[in-house]
Structure formats: C-alpha cells, structure tokens
C-alpha cells in the first residue's frame, strides 16, 4: 500500500477507521456535526488514490445536486490532477437517467425520452380528470400526483396496486394512474417517479443489464442514507456487487422526512440485509459546545428506534442552553428580538442567527416584530407571511369590502376561487371602466344592469356582487376577524383548500388561521389593512445582515452560531396532526426534529414556549411541550422570573390536569387528557 495521503491525516480515529474499511458492507452512523461529508469524500478519494478502483468503477449517490457538486469539488481538491472525472457521482435521479438512456428500449422507451416537470404532470392529470368526469374540486390534480408518487415510491406500477378498501377516491385515482401512465409512455416520456421505478423494473427483468453495472461498480457510496425510501433502497440493493462493497453514511437521529416517503427502517435494518456489515459511529462533534451536545443527546435518548451514539466534543462547555417561558406569542417574539438586538450590539453577525419554527405560519409574529424594531430578516425556503398567495387573496377580499375603488384587489379576487370569469371578460371590464372613468366594481355593475354580459357570466357576476354587498353589511354587525371567516366560507375559498388534500393546502389553511389571529390584535378592519400595507411596503434590503427564519425541516444540514427554537408547546411541537396520524412513530420523528433543531447551534441555543396562544379568536392556555420535560436540568438555564410573572405556581415540568377547569382547551389537550386517563 502506498504511503497514506495527507487528507487521511486530517481525520480522527473514528473517521479514519470508516474510510480505511473498504471490503464488504459498512454503515457509518454519523452524528450531527461529526464530519459525515468529510468521511465520504475521503473514502472516495482514498479508493481512487490507492487505485482500489478507477473513478468510473465507483458509484456515489447523493440526494441533491448541491451535495453532489460539493462532494465533487472536495474530491478534486484532495486529489488534484489524479482525478479526471467522476462519471457516476450524482443524485438517484440523475444516475437513473443515464441508466435509462442506455437501455430505454428494454423498458419500451426511446433513448431520447423527455422528462416531465410538475406543470406537465398537472396539465396531463387535469385533462384526464376532465375526460373521466372527475370533479377537480374533490380530487385536486396535486393530490392525485402525490398519490401516484406514493405508489411509485413503493415500486408499484398501476397494474400492481392492490386496494384494500372500496374508497371511491382511491379507485378513481388508480383509474387516473392507469390512463396517465399509458399517456406518458405514448409521449415517450417519464416523470421523476418513473426514473427510479423503471430502473428497478429494468434490473429485475434483465439480469444481463443488471450484471453490467453490478460487475462494473466495485464500490457504492451513499450519502444521507436515512432519507432513502423503499424504491431507492431497492435500486441500491439490485446493483450492489457480489462482494457487497456498499458504504452508507447517515444519521438515524436526523431522519425527519417520512412525510416524503423516507423509511428509517432502511437504516435501522441495514445489518439484517447485510449480516456481515461493519458499523462505524462518528461521535466527535466539531460544531457545537458541550452543553448543546449534552442537551441534544439527552433529548434524543428518549427515542427507542435508534442505533444509539453519544456525541462529544473537545471544545468548550459553552453557555447554558436558555429555556424561556413567555406569556404569549407576541411576548415571545419581543423576547427573541430583544436578545437579537443585544446580540447585534455586541458585534455579532445577524447572518449567524436563525429562528427555527415547527410550522411556517409561526413566522408571522416574528416578522411583524422585526419590521417594527428594524431587524433585518430573510425567510429561508419560504415566502414572507404577507406575500403568501392565500394571505394576499384573503386581504384583497377585505380590501374590496373596505372600499370599492381598489381595482387591484377586485381583479385578484373576482375569479379566485375560479368562477368561470376568463381573460376576455376581464378585458371587457377594463375597457368599460377606462372609457367611463369608473372603478372595476362599478363597471361590472353597470355592464350587468345594461345586460352586456353573456348569460352564464351574468349569473356569476350577479352572485359575486351580491356577496360583496352582503359582506359590507356583515362588517357593520360583526368583528372584522369574524367577517373574514364568513368571507372565506361564502366565497368558496376555504372549501377550495379543504377539498384539495395535500400538505401545501394544509399549510395554506394554517396561514389563514394565523392571519385571523393577527387581525385579533387590531380594533377594526381599517387599522388592520393599514398595518398590512405598511408591513408589506417596508424596504428590507437595507444590507446583507439578516436574521434567518425557517422551518426545522429546512434547517437540516445548516449551522449557525445562535439558534432560537420558539413554540415548544403541545399540539404545535410535537405537532398534533402528526401524532394523530402516526402515533408513536410520529412522536419519535418529532423528537428527531427537535434534535436536528438543537444541533444546528454552534455556540448558543434558546428554547421557548408561551403559556397562551390565540386560537379561533380566543385566548387559550397552552401546555409546555413534553420535550421540555425531557431536557436535563444540567446545562439548562430557566428564566424563572418570567415564570413568576405568568403564574406563581407554574412549573416547567407541568404534566397534570388543571383542577376544576372542565372548559380548559389547548391544541394538545385532547391528546394529553387521553394519555393521563390511560
């Protein structure tokens, strides 16, 4: 063996052992901040440098193009001129395309097949639904696509799907799936789900083709293995060579994507698929202080389904993790902003601070507080609250109720949700309004009175304008936030979102609920609309120094000096809907999400909860998250003064029913009550 190259000298003993083990299957259990990517790139570099394999004999699979590029760049830096190319380094999808281009005819395609994007899929599904008389309001194209993807991720073509129930919707979706798949093939196309599925079918039915690759790839390296789904794992198993030289790297404690199809059992059951595998644990953390690691390790230790590891660091103990209790969400946002202002005054970069929320609607209170006090911020992986489409739609309804001359608002909502008003009618409205110097609402009323609309359009406008009149009348006898509930229901907007069963629409509904909570802070509609106008008009491009706001899911793989984790309350975190759908499995994933959140912090972490939140326009008591009860006393600094302000007898470890209060409700109350009565 040649003298070990310099890059091996940069590895700790655990990392080096994982890199130098090149024979047979291995699983690298890499804790947060333990140098997972470093191990993977070092292993790849070592195999090439020591001529264990030529670059084209190594298959290296990542989940994102960004990760693939980062890995390629690192290997080039390590090997320099020794590396010409890495032809088989890429994502599951990009590598699958290469396989299929070469062997398209074996699966009934031509090698120049096209890959459909999401918009192409939607158009095709819409046309099929129209032809089959399927009501798009009850079965949205997006939901149908998600179900088809789910089946494909399970390795199922239409003829292989077995329905265990007589659910009319499932049967309709399966019917669409059959037609859709035939049409896609007729177009000589694939969607993203097909790319991996067809590869699996190709290898299963053509042993000669499968052997070409299993014999060629001497080594297979896999990044983020905990995020693989059923079909991706099967894809890997089919092309592993007879020596089972496969090395998978990941962290079971960071498996947080089950809602995208990821199956943690792939990771936990690796040693059962490969009985002679070696397991390496990377436990030395290079990111966080000892206190942060102790908190994270203690918290995740409550999970049962895990391989187990203990993170440690040679670094300093660092600041205690702060646990803060606030009276309500507004006070929580104020408390965080106060800490950030002090943080900035001490010459710390706002770019190195992040607020990680469980649900995207939680950003609203922080955004409003930051706008008020002049703290720059950016939303990572999402859109600012008042710029979200559903929020803008709702506000435009309120704007046109407030005053009829708001043509921009009128034009936005006149066909939202869709009422059958097309571009031709809108053009007609604009021309009439311009010619007669009236607003669009008055134009529509005059055209209606003059019988200038086609019969169908006439009925639509008549109903719509009647609703506007009714809502203006409702405003006089209802609170402005109650009015919005009425508008969303009677306009059909709520039904539009509720009928489309997908995660995006669930988030949109949550954002609208948050909008209602925001309206509760203002005495009247005029005041609220003024607030929104000012909030959305503020120029936030003051400089590049901005606090980062994102969901905990979006934060995976990132790191910051200071992390804020608000909203640790039952029902919100762990999320009530997740618990109701998947029970203990969901609880463990929610706890892994908490672990991911805490381990993003390098120097300081702030966990907080509120004792009250506004729900449906009323103040409700909140229960601290069970995850707070699971935090160790050592390494935690509790804000005792705030606790006293809230209640003399309030306890961080509160886990009991409130006596003589049958009317008490909270997001997690039903679950907690059920638990306590077992």
Respond yes or no: is residue 363 known to be catalytic: no
Q: Residue 1: what pLDDT?
A: 38
Instruction: From the candidates 5, 37, 50, 181, give the one annotated as an active-site residue.
Output: 37
Q: What is the mean pLDDT of the chain?
A: 88
In whole angstroms, what is the distance from residue 624 CA to residue 617 CA? 21
Mean pLDDT of 569-596: 93
Q: Which of the pair, 329 or 502, is modelled with greater confidence?
A: 329
Mean pLDDT of 151-171: 87
Q: Residue 222: what pLDDT?
A: 97
Residue 543's pLDDT band, with cuts at 50, 70 and 90, is low
Q: Residue 497: what pLDDT?
A: 86
Q: Give the Cβ contact number of residue 77 at 10 Å.
A: 12
Mean pLDDT of 9-35: 95
* Structure tokens, 600: 């993003």
Instruction: From the candidates 41, 142, 232, 254, give the one annotated as an active-site residue.
Output: 254
Mean pLDDT of 655-663: 37
Instruction: From the candidates 49, 191, 194, 223, give the one annotated as an active-site residue.
Output: 223
Q: Is the pLDDT of residue 491 over 60?
A: yes
Q: Residue 670: what pLDDT?
A: 45
Respond yes or no: is residue 502 known to be catalytic: no
Instruction: Say if residues 569 and 613 touch (Cβ distance below 8 Å).
Output: yes
Q: Are strands 618-621 and 612-615 parallel, antiparallel or unpaired?
A: antiparallel
Respond yes or no: is residue 36 known to be catalytic: yes
Q: Residue 537: what pLDDT?
A: 61
Mean pLDDT of 551-555: 95
Q: Is the pLDDT of residue 540 over 60?
A: no
Instruction: Say if residues 483 and 516 touch (Cβ distance below 8 Å).
Output: no
Q: Is the pLDDT of residue 535 over 90?
A: no
pLDDT in tens, 121-130: 999 999 999 8
Cα–Cα distances (Å) from 371 to 10, 487, 523, 547, in that order, read: 45, 28, 20, 12
Number of H helices, E strands in the chain: 31, 17
Q: Is the pLDDT of residue 42 over 90?
A: yes
Cα–Cα distances (Å) from 455 to 427, 459, 461, 612, 647, in that order, read: 17, 6, 10, 52, 64
Residue 438's pLDDT band, with cuts at 50, 70 and 90, is very high
Residue 5's pLDDT band, with cuts at 50, 70 and 90, is low
Q: Residue 512: what pLDDT?
A: 93
Residues in the chain, total: 678
Residue 138's pLDDT band, with cuts at 50, 70 and 90, is confident
Q: Is the pLDDT of residue 533 over 90?
A: no
Instruction: From the candidates 14, 15, 16, 36, give the one annotated as an active-site residue.
Output: 36
Q: Residue 19: what pLDDT?
A: 96
- Percent of the chain at pLDDT > 70 equals 91
Respond yes or no: is residue 37 known to be catalytic: yes
Among residues 135, 66, 138, 191, which one has the least CA distance to residue 497?
138
Q: Is the pLDDT of residue 673 over 50?
A: no
Q: Residue 500: what pLDDT?
A: 65
Beta bridge partners of 89: 60
Q: Is the pLDDT of residue 651 over 70?
A: no
pLDDT in tens, 362-373: 999 999 999 989
Instruction: From the candidates 600, 602, 603, 626, give the one annotated as an active-site residue.
Output: 600
Q: Residue 669: what pLDDT?
A: 42
Q: Is the pLDDT of residue 645 over 70?
A: no
pLDDT in tens, 384-436: 899 899 999 999 999 999 999 889 899 999 999 989 898 899 999 999 999 99
Token look-up 């009565």 returns 677
Q: Residue 617: what pLDDT?
A: 64
Q: Quick one: 30 exposed, middle or buried, by C-beta within 10 A (0-12, 13-18, 19+)?
A: buried
CB half-sphere exposure, 639, CA atoms < 13 A: 19
Q: Residue 375: what pLDDT?
A: 92
Q: Is the pLDDT of residue 653 over 70?
A: no
In whole angstroms, what is the distance from residue 165 CA to residue 309 CA? 42
- Percent of the chain at pLDDT > 90 equals 67
Instruction: From the candidates 224, 251, 331, 365, give the one annotated as an active-site residue.
Output: 224
Q: Is the pLDDT of residue 216 over 90?
A: yes
């Amino acid at each position: 063996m040649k003298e070990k190259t310099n890059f091996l000298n940069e590895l700790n003993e655990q990392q080096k052992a994982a890199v130098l083990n090149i024979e047979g299957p291995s699983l690298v259990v890499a804790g947060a901040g333990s140098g997972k990517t470093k191990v993977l790139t070092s292993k790849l570099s070592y195999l090439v440098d020591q001529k264990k394999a030529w670059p084209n004999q190594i298959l290296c699979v990542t989940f994102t193009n960004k990760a693939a590029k980062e890995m390629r760049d690192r290997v080039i830096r390590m090997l320099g001129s020794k590396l010409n190319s890495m032809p088989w380094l890429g994502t599951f999808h990009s590598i699958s395309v290469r396989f299929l281009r070469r062997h398209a005819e074996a699966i009934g395609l031509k090698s120049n097949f096209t890959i459909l994007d999401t918009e192409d899929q939607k158009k095709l599904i819409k046309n099929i639904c129209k032809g089959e008389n399927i009501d798009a309001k009850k079965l949205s194209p997006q939901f149908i696509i998600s179900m088809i993807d789910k089946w494909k991720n399970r390795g199922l073509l239409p003829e292989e799907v077995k329905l265990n129930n007589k659910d009319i919707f499932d049967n309709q979706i399966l019917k669409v799936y059959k037609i859709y798949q035939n049409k896609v093939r007729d177009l000589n196309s694939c969607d993203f789900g097909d790319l991996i599925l067809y590869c699996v079918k190709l290898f299963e039915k053509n042993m000669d083709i499968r052997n070409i690759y299993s014999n060629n790839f001497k080594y297979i390296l896999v990044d983020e293995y905990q995020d693989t789904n059923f079909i991706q794992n099967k894809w890997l198993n089919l092309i592993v060579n007879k020596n089972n030289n496969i090395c998978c790297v990941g962290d079971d404690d960071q498996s947080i994507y089950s809602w995208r199809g990821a199956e943690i059992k792939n990771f936990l059951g690796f040693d059962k698929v490969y009985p002679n595998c070696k397991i390496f644990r990377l436990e030395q953390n290079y990111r966080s202080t000892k206190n942060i690691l102790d908190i994270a390790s203690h918290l995740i230790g409550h999970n049962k389904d895990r391989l187990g590891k203990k993170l440690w660091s040679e670094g300093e103990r660092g600041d205690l993790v702060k646990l803060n209790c606030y009276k309500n969400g507004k006070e929580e946002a104020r408390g965080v902003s106060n800490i950030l202002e002090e943080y900035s005054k001490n010459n710390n970069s706002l770019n190195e601070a992040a607020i990680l929320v469980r649900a995207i609607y939680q950003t609203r209170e922080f955004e409003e507080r930051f706008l008020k006090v002049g703290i720059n911020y950016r939303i990572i992986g999402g859109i600012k609250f008042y710029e979200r489409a559903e929020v803008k739609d709702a506000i435009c309804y309120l704007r046109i109720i407030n005053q009829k001359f708001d043509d921009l608002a009128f034009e936005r909502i006149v066909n939202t949700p869709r009422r059958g008003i097309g571009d031709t009618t809108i053009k007609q409205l604009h021309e009439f309004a311009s010619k007669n110097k009236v607003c669009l609402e008055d134009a529509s009323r005059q055209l209606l009175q003059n019988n200038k609309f086609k019969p169908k359009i006439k009925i639509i406008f008549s109903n719509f304008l009647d609703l506007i009149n009714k809502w203006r009348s409702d405003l006089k006898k209802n609170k402005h936030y109650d009015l919005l509930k009425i508008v969303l229901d009677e306009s059909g907007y709520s039904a539009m979102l509720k009928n489309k069963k997908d995660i995006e629409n669930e988030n949109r509904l949550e954002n609208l609920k948050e909008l209602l909570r925001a309206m509760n802070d203002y005495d009247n509609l005029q005041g609220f609309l003024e607030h929104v106008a000012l909030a959305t008009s503020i120029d936030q491009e003051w400089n590049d120094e901005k606090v980062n706001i994102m969901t905990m899911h979006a934060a995976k793989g990132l790191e910051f000096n200071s992390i804020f984790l608000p909203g640790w309350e039952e029902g919100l975190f762990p999320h009530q809907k997740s618990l109701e759908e998947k029970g203990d499995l969901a609880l463990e994933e929610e706890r892994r999400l908490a672990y991911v959140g805490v381990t993003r912090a390098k120097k300081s972490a702030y966990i907080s909860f509120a004792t009250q939140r506004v729900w449906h326009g009323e103040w409700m008591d909140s229960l601290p998250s069970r995850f707070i009860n699971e935090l160790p006393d050592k390494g935690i600094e509790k804000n005792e003064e705030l606790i006293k302000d809230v209640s003399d007898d309030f306890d961080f470890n509160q886990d009991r029913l409130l006596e003589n209060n049958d009317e008490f409700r909270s997001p997690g109350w039903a679950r907690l009550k059920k638990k306590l009565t077992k």
